[in-house]
Structure 1
Amino acid sequence: MALRIKSHWWNAEQARSVPEIAGALAFIAWRLSVEKAVNLHCERFVYTDDRQRMAVIQEYLVFLIQIADRLCYGIMSEDDRRTLITTVVTKVIEQVQDNGQDLFGDGNHGRPFIALLNRRSDEYAQLHFDGEGPSYPFLRHLGYEIQCVMGQQEENRWVIDQVMDKDGWEAYQQFSGTFRNLFE
């Protein structure tokens, strides 16, 4: 199943602010992350509950935030880059909070995501990303973290391969293409 993502502005001649672009990127990151979590189920990997599914979505969100940060490095000023990533993260946290409340009830669902993002940011910072995209270890890290979330039961034994070899790379390609289109 292919996810259709609108990645061009309706009025291309109108200038867009960095926060507007960041809002669009956050929305797209959310949609891609949900689509990749659903795809795992379609590939016959098994979620035990909605918390596990939300944890997979959050791992993809962290991955895509890292991709956004790497893509804007060197093409934006440090101030614009900081504004872009801060706004993306803020909008993503709002999505995590809203969906967490819908699924799990009242509570602060954003704070654990912030802790996860901070922890994973340190980990991803050690991994290589260049003009060709994320390195194999970068994708392997995503796959490993999702494998940890999904568990080692028989049905999920090969989820790391699905994420590393297919879903993670596809998420990167879709997100990076959209990222470039939004700045055109």
Structure 2
Amino acid sequence: MALRIKSHWSNEGATRSLTEIATALASNAWRLALDKAINLHCERFVYRDDAQRLAVIREYLYFLIQIGDRLAHLSLSEAERRELITAFAAKVIEYVQDNSQDLLGPGDYGRTFIAELNERSGEYADFQLEDDGPSYAFLRHLGHEIQSLMGQDEENRWVIDQVMDKDGYEAYKRFAGAFGDLLDS
């Protein structure tokens, strides 16, 4: 079944606030991250437990927030970009908190997400989003982080290749397309 993400508004003539756009982006990012985590399982990579699967989802979310920030930088003023990305990240944090709590029990998962997001933001700062998508280094970093989470055992040895060569770029492509459509409509 094909993954459905929001790329158009039901009433295209209405003006949308940056917060409304951020909410749609967060929903899209969550769905894409979840889809890519599921795809790794479908490709016969093995998760140890739900905590590891959630960690992979978070890595995709860090990546997509960075992509969103780069795309916003190209099309919005600095104040608008800050408002959009702050609202986007805040909504993603809600998804992470709710889903982590459902699977892992009570905890302050949002605070951990913020700390890791800040760390990843610094790491991704040196990587370029080029006209045709994330640079090799950008995708390699995503793959490296997921490989670190999944381990080097026999089943997961090649997860970095799957993420770099296929899943990371596909997540970028779907997210960037929806980003542009939501911002333009």
**Structure 2: 5+ residue stretches without partners:** none
Aligned to 1:33: 33
Cα distance, 1:3 vs. partner? 1.1
Seq. identity, %:
66
- Structure 1 equivalent of residue 177 of structure 2: 177
The 5 Å alignment of 1:24-173 reads 24-173=24-173
Partner of 2:13: 13
- How far did 1:156 drift? 0.2
After TM superposition, give the deviation of residue 130 of structure 1 in Å. Answer: 2.1
Take 1:71 and 1:104, find their aligned partners in 2: how far apart are those partners?
Answer: 33
Please give the alpha-carbon distance, in whole angstroms, between the structure 1 residues aligned to 2:74 and 2:166.
28
What amino acid is the match of 2:131?
A: G
Runs of 5+ consecutive residues of structure 1 not aligned to the other structure: none
Question: What is the distance in 2 between the residues matched to 1:31 and 1:2?
Answer: 12
Contact persistence 2:6–2:24 (CA under 8 A):
no
TM-score, normalization: structure 1? 0.98
Indicate the larger mover: 29-38 or 126-135: 126-135
Runs of 4+ in 1 over 6 A off after TM superposition: none
Equivalent position of 2:3 in the other structure: 3
Q: How far off its partner does 1:69 sit?
A: 0.2
1:117-153 Cα shifts (integer Å, max 9, x gaps):
0000000001111222110110000000000000111
Query: Which residue identity does 2:172 align to in structure 1?
Result: Y
How far apart are residue 74 of structure 1 and its match?
3.0
Report SS of the residue matched to 1:44: coil
C-alpha distance in 1, partners of 2:114/2:26? 15
Report how many aligned residue pairs link the two structures. 184
Aligned partners of 1:134, 1:25: CA distance in 2, in Å?
18
Q: Secondary structure at the match of 2:74?
A: coil
